């Protein structure tokens, strides 16, 4: 998978296959750094707000949904760094810094690569480009895991609290939801792009494609989250049990059939697969490079039918209409993306 791709990048990348680093891509990387830091501040401030209000159970749930994903992603990231020989810059400081500012190293390498190109230092440009690709590969894992181990439980938890209590939807909470939903779609889009950058026979995703991809990811994840959150507000234990079963089933399928490897330990590899099981509650994303047309079709059809059935049985008309409409809109944007925006294979 990506660890093998790191070695391949160092062997193959040169000036003729380097994807240009545009000012827009540097700005977008900077936005990723800011979004990550904002989401951390929001999570902890909400926990503090519940504690001040005497809602200690909500405080505990919020802190738990921060700490558990932090530990899991740190373990995975440590193994990814060790496997890709990136530990020389200081493992502990790298993990801590990447937790707070997820894309800071990628931003640094992008700026240095662009600077070297401007000054005509070809060797330095290739060196920093290789480091940028390696960093994008390493952090791509963590972007995906953070999205669905941290942000997704947080936004579902906050929606459930809003639906089940007298908590008001303040401007701050509305801003928090915007950051939650936006960061998830943003992280998946960045993960997909880093996947393509690691495969040197493929073109980068153009700005238009990244925008359309962000939109359909946003529609699909918002639809699924609203549906799950409303069900959790009615049947919290049953919804939790269903989600755990879904995670275990999908994680086991990924472990058996795709067999991804990020560590020598089978336990850590299975935990990694379980994180993909969490991802598949909301959205499908391929574990390895292979044809995905039928996988996408099956997954999106199943989830749409699931949303429709749940909406018909339990959810009020105004909300169910929004949930189904968002999912259908996401499917249409997905089709548009793969027909008109998806980059083709680069012929070397």
Question: How is 148-197 classified by DSSP, letter by letter?
Answer: IIIIHHHHHHHHHHHHHSS----HHHHHHHHHHHHHHHHHHHHHHHHHHH
What confidence score (pLDDT) does residue 4 get? 45
Its pTM stands at 0.72
d(CA 2, CA 84) in angstroms, rounded, equals 9
Mean pLDDT in consecutive groups of 10 residues from the start of the chain, 348 residues:
45 54 77 77 83 83 79 71 58 62 77 85 83 75 67 76 74 78 76 66 71 89 90 89 87 80 74 80 76 79 90 91 94 89 56
What confidence score (pLDDT) does residue 321 get? 94
Sequence-distant contacts of 282-288: CB under 8 A, at least 24 apart:
282/148, 282/152, 282/184, 282/220, 282/221, 282/224, 282/225, 283/188, 283/217, 283/220, 283/221, 283/224, 285/144, 285/188, 285/191, 285/192, 287/1, 287/254, 287/258, 287/260, 288/1, 288/258, 288/260
User: For residue 82, what are the CA distances in angstroms to 88, 90, 263?
Assistant: 9, 11, 9
Please report the sign of the dihedral spanned by the C-alpha atoms of residue 332, residue 333, residue 336, residue 342: negative
Nearest-CA neighbor of 80 among 219, 260, 218? 260
d(CA 121, CA 115) in angstroms, rounded, equals 9
Residues 6+ apart with CB under 8 A from 228: 156, 239, 243, 281
What confidence score (pLDDT) does residue 199 get? 62
Question: How is 271-319 classified by DSSP, letter by letter?
Answer: HHHHHHHHHHHH----SSSS--HHHHHHHHHHHHHHHHHHHHHHS-HHH
DSSP state of 206: P
DSSP state of 87: G
What confidence score (pLDDT) does residue 347 get? 39
Task: Report which secondary-structure segment, H or E, holds 48.
Answer: helix 23-52
d(CA 314, CA 328) in angstroms, rounded, equals 19
What confidence score (pLDDT) does residue 148 get? 67
What confidence score (pLDDT) does residue 11 get? 43
* Side-chain half-sphere exposure of 174, counting CA atoms within 13 A: 4
């Amino acid at each position: 998978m990506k660890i093998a791709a790191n070695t391949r990048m160092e062997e193959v990348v040169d000036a003729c296959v380097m994807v240009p680093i545009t000012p827009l891509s540097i700005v977008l990387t900077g936005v990723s750094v800011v979004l990550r830091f904002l989401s951390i501040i929001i999570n902890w401030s909400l926990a503090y707000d519940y504690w001040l209000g005497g809602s200690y159970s909500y405080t505990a749930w919020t802190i738990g949904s921060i700490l558990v994903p932090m530990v899991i992603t740190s373990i995975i990231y440590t193994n990814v760094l060790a496997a890709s020989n990136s530990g020389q810059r200081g493992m502990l400081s790298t993990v801590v810094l990447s937790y707070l500012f997820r894309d800071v190293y990628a931003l640094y390498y992008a700026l240095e690569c662009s600077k070297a190109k401007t000054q005509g230092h070809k060797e330095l440009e290739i060196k920093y480009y290789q480091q940028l690709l390696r960093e994008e590969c390493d952090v791509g894992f963590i972007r995906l895991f953070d999205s669905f181990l941290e942000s997704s439980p947080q936004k579902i938890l906050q929606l459930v609290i809003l639906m089940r209590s007298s908590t008001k939807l303040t401007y701050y909470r509305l801003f928090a939801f915007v950051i939650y939903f936006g960061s998830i779609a943003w992280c998946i889009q960045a993960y997909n792009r880093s996947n393509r950058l690691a495969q040197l026979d493929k073109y980068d995703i153009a700005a238009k494609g990244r925008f359309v991809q962000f939109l359909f990811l946003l529609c699909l994840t918002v639809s699924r989250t609203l549906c799950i959150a409303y069900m959790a507000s009615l049947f919290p234990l049953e919804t939790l049990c269903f989600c755990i079963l879904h995670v275990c089933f999908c994680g086991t399928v990924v472990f058996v059939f795709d067999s991804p490897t990020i560590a020598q330990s089978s336990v850590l590899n299975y935990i990694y697969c379980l994180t993909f099981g969490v991802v598949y509650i909301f959205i499908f994303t391929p574990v390895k490079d292979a044809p995905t047309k039928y996988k996408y079709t099956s997954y999106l059809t199943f989830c749409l039918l699931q949303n429709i059935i749940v909406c018909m049985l339990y959810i009020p008309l105004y909300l169910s209409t929004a949930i189904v409409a968002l999912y259908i809109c996401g499917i249409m944007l997905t089709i548009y993306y793969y027909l008109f925006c998806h980059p083709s294979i680069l012929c070397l």
